[in-house]
Amino acid sequence: MADYLVGKIKRNTYLLFLFKMVALFAIVFTLDYSIGNILSFFYFKQDSGMQYRTTYSLEKTTADIIILGSSRANHHYRPDIFEKRLNLSVYNAGRDANYIFYHYAILKGVLKRYTPKIIILDFEHGEFSKTQLSYDRISSLLPYYERHPEIRSIIELKSPYERIKLLSSIYPYNSSIFSIAIGNTELNKKKWLDIKGYLPLTKTWNGSIQIDSSSIEYALDSTKVKVYESFIQDCLISKVKLYIVCSPYFIKSNQTDYSVTLGRDIAKRNYVKFFDFSKDSVLINNPKLFADILHLNDEGAKVFSNILLDSIGKTIGTYTKNKTNLEKN
């Protein structure tokens, strides 16, 4: 009898423990799901700022020309100049501190909805360098994991555990809570006023030019190279005219960046035009066109946008000012 009672107590204790664990998991799941959905609602409710521009790029823009890249894309390409000279609509989808993984994700999201006429990809020095930061920055795409199956394989590059982490509804937003809060205020509109995605820089660089004497070669990330190649192939398959551009730096160097050399070679093999303006004399000899050594200011963006358009005009045989002629090329 005593053994029976002891056994029953043990079973009851086990069942109670099991019940508590199930209840705990249910509470955690409910809280995670509820809070995650609230964060998601306010994230996608934003109508200005950096996060909104990513949403707009992936889900809303139907511009004829899409500009992709990091902050250098964001600050170097003026949509108004492109629209005036080419008579095509433009959206600048660049985003600060993001790399080829982000650019490719935006491209895939765009191509799933429609086919733009031209894609311009701003290519950075060190684009293929092996750095953990490039993978960490994929976090800017986490909120789109559920809504955009076409970019899940890119997001999963962030770490081997992303699929598991993304079972949580909160996880995609846990580093953006403050940004989401600010993004739902009028203050955000004043801070992040953009012109069709373009963010003008108004300051002027007063320092001297930087001299780059770093090593020509550095460790390359093969995954980045493959994603870059896929970016090119997707444009070719979709019959999108692609231009890859290394925009100006206020840096003097006697050598060509390792990634630029490789990126240009890959583009050439695929018959894609690659422009390297990183040492352009018109801009590099005029510090007043730069906001800092890495970015042009608004006046510099105006000059550079026109220089690039002149070069693009030469690649299509004769310079065109109208949509009909451009579509024939």
Q: What is the pLDDT of residues 71-100, one digit of tens each?
A: 999 999 999 999 999 999 999 999 999 999
Across the chain, what does the average pLDDT equal?
Answer: 90
Q: Is the pLDDT of residue 318 over 50?
A: no
Q: Which of 41, 64, 56, 67 is nearest to 115 (CA)?
A: 64
Q: Could you give the 3-state DSSP secondary structure of residue 206?
A: coil
Sheet containing 90-92: give its strands across: 90-92, 65-68, 118-122, 241-246, 273-276
Alpha carbons 281 and 307: distance in angstroms, whole number:
12
> What is the per-residue pLDDT across 224-262, written as a single tens digit (0 to 9) for each?
999 999 999 999 999 999 999 999 999 998 889 999 999
Check residue 12 and give its pLDDT. Answer: 64
Number of residues written out for the chain: 329
What average pLDDT score do residues 288-304 get? 97
